[in-house]
């Protein structure tokens, strides 16, 4: 066991001291995952505009005005849908970043605006789109405020508002008769002032919250959907497994070549003379590859979680998938190592084969975007099984039963790789 650890530690050192290997195993995959993530982030939301579904339940003037302003907003891509259900489904399946609902109760809220009421607006957002949620909330407040001059310019509307105010004052138990009288006079003055205003001036924004700090004339109620399943919630859900594919490919390439490197630099002689068996050698090198692959996976997941807010649906299952895929690729590395008798073979044919497997296994085109032929072909790639196994608990949130096949395939690949590799040329003369 000590000799296995000695080999693993030595190979890890060699790996981390090789600038090329470190670049292709750690740096390049992270850059790729981030780049793809950011590039396709726009694509997922339909350009730089935020896609929102709009449901107008209220037939009030204010709702109509707000709908009109939302549609005209440059940062939003608004599509009218008829029901809340339709809008919610759209958010759930990623068509929309958010759904905005202008509810029936808007009219009542507007009427009571000067007597403690507020205008209700609802928004339903996807939890992974929190970044955009803040923007939408701000936008709704701003556009709602812009409706106020229109409200006041509307005679019928302002009449209702002042009427509501008078009723509120009349009903108040805190005010004395003199105060009520004074307030009534104030309202009358205000009403005549509003009537004298030129109509339709929507240029200026009235000061908000005039009657008290806690009161806001617009109440935007944001509601988060439960985390979605089955669809990538952000472009990073797709690009992180892609990064893993390339990182693992780099790592496998490095360790597959490490056996022939030992041969060409003569150190294999020392390993062969040591009182260890071929199994020790494979276990040591495999362990180093396993650890490196695991580090790549961990690095990408940690970066995704901390930098771009990726949320892991099933952490335990994800850990298992990472461990088994690292094992599978350690086995694959030993299989390729067994095939290669020269450094040229390892760096040419070995890395070439890996590149091909990574390509058809989802390294560039995400599996679910692939045309059917490629999808079928991808079954031959170990990378496909790793991507499936990792995506399942990362964002697909699949049932445990659905994880069984990819995990079993990965475990089989690992055992098969070690078993077959140990019988191949490069290891055969290592006892």
Partner 1 sequence: MLTLRDIRRSFGSTTAVDGLSLQVQAGEVFGLLGPNGAGKSTTIAIATGLLRPDAGSVDLLGLGSPADAEVRRHLGLAPQEIALYGELTARENLRFLADLYGLADARSRVEGLLAMVELDARADDRTEGFSGGMKRRLNLAAALVHGPRLVMLDEPTAGVDPQSRNRILELVRTLAAGGTTVLYTTHYMEEAAKLCDRVGIIDHGRMLDVGTVPELLARHGGTAGEASDLESAFLALTGRSLRE
Interacting residues with partner 1 (CB under 8 A): 2-3, 5-7, 9-10, 13-14, 17-18, 265-267, 269-277, 431
CA 377 to chain centre: 28
Label residue 365 left, alpha or beta by phi (over 0 means left) and psi (-120 to 50 means alpha). Answer: beta
Of 284 and 382, nearer to partner 1 (C-beta) is 284
- Rounded CA-CA distance 333/353 in Å is 11
Q: How far is the CB of 273 from partner 1 (least distance, A)?
A: 6
- Rounded CA-CA distance 255/8 in Å is 11
Q: How far is the CB of 260 from partner 1 (least distance, A)?
A: 14
Element (H, E) at 177: helix 177-196
- Rounded CA-CA distance 133/130 in Å is 5
Q: Is 117 helix (H, G, I), strand (E, B) or coil?
A: coil
Of 1 and 213, nearer to partner 1 (C-beta) is 1
- Rounded CA-CA distance 210/205 in Å is 13
Q: How far is the CB of 285 from partner 1 (least distance, A)?
A: 13
Q: Specify whether the CB–CB gap between 34 and 310 falls below 8 A.
A: no
CA distance readout (Å), 356 to 239, 259, 377, 384: 18, 21, 11, 12
Of 146 and 341, nearer to partner 1 (C-beta) is 341
Q: How far is the CB of 410 from partner 1 (least distance, A)?
A: 30
Q: How far is the CB of 2 from partner 1 (least distance, A)?
A: 5
Of 80 and 265, nearer to partner 1 (C-beta) is 265
Element (H, E) at 124: strand 119-125
**Phi, psi at 274, each rounded to 5°:** -65, 155
Of 82 and 267, nearer to partner 1 (C-beta) is 267
Q: Specify whether the CB–CB gap between 351 and 332 falls below 8 A.
A: no
Of 2 and 173, nearer to partner 1 (C-beta) is 2
Of 167 and 429, nearer to partner 1 (C-beta) is 429
Residue 218, strand partner residues: 119
Structure tokens at 146: 């812009």
Q: How far is the CB of 89 from partner 1 (least distance, A)?
A: 57
Of 24 and 383, nearer to partner 1 (C-beta) is 24
Of 7 and 110, nearer to partner 1 (C-beta) is 7
Q: How far is the CB of 298 from partner 1 (least distance, A)?
A: 24
- Rounded CA-CA distance 121/140 in Å is 8
Q: How far is the CB of 226 from partner 1 (least distance, A)?
A: 51
Q: Specify whether the CB–CB gap between 341 and 261 falls below 8 A.
A: no
Q: How far is the CB of 272 from partner 1 (least distance, A)?
A: 6
Of 180 and 272, nearer to partner 1 (C-beta) is 272
- DSSP assignment string, 224-287: EPPPP-SS-SSHHHHHHHHHHHHHHHHHHHHHHHHHHHHHHHTHHHHHHHSS--HHHHHHHHHH
First-to-last alpha carbon distance for the chain, in angstroms, is 17
- Rounded CA-CA distance 336/321 in Å is 22
Q: How far is the CB of 380 from partner 1 (least distance, A)?
A: 35
């Amino acid at each position: 066991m000590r000799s296995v650890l000695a080999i693993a530690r030595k190979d890890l050192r060699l790996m981390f001291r090789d600038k090329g290997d470190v670049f292709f195993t750690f740096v390049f995959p992270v850059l790729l995952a981030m780049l793809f993530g950011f590039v396709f982030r726009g694509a997922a939301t339909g350009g730089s505009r935020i896609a929102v579904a709009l449901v107008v339940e209220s037939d009030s003037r204010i709702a109509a005005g707000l709908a009109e302003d939302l549609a005209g907003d440059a940062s939003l891509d608004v599509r009218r849908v008829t029901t809340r259900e339709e809008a919610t489904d759209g958010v759930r399946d990623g068509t929309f970043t958010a759904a905005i609902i202008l509810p029936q109760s808007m009219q009542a809220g507007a009427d009571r605006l000067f007597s403690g009421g507020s205008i209700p607006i609802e928004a339903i957002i996807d939890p992974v789109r929190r970044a955009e949620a803040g923007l939408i909330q701000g936008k709704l407040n701003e556009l709602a405020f812009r409706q106020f001059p229109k409200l006041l310019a509307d005679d019928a509307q302002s009449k209702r508002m002042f009427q509501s105010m008078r009723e509120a004052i009349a009903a108040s138990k805190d005010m004395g008769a003199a105060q009520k009288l004074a307030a009534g006079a104030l309202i009358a003055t205000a009403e005549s002032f509003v009537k004298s205003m030129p109509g339709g001036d929507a240029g200026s924004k009235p000061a908000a919250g005039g009657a008290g700090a806690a009161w806001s004339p617009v109440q935007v109620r944001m509601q988060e959907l439960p985390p979605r399943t089955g669809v990538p919630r952000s472009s990073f859900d797709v690009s992180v497994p892609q990064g893993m594919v390339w990182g693992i490919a780099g790592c496998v390439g490095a360790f597959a070549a490490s056996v022939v490197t030992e041969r060409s630099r003569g150190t294999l002689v020392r390993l062969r003379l040591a009182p260890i068996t071929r199994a020790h050698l494979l276990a040591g090198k495999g362990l180093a590859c396993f650890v490196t692959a695991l580090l790549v996976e961990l690095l990408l997941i940690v970066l995704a979680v901390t930098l771009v807010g990726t949320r892991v649906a099933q952490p335990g299952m994800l850990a298992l998938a990472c461990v088994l895929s690292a094992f599978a690729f350690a086995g694959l590395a030993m299989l390729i190592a067994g095939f290669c008798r020269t450094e040229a073979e390892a760096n040419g044919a070995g890395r070439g084969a890996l590149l091909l497997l990574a390509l058809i296994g989802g390294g560039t085109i995400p599996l679910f975007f692939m045309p059917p032929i490629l999808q079928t072909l991808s079954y031959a790639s170990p990378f496909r099984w790793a991507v499936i196994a990792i995506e399942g608990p990362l964002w697909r949130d699949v049932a445990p039963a659905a994880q069984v096949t990819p995990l079993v395939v990965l475990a089989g690949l690992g055992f098969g790789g070690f078993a077959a590799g140990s019988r191949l040329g490069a290891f055969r003369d290592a006892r």
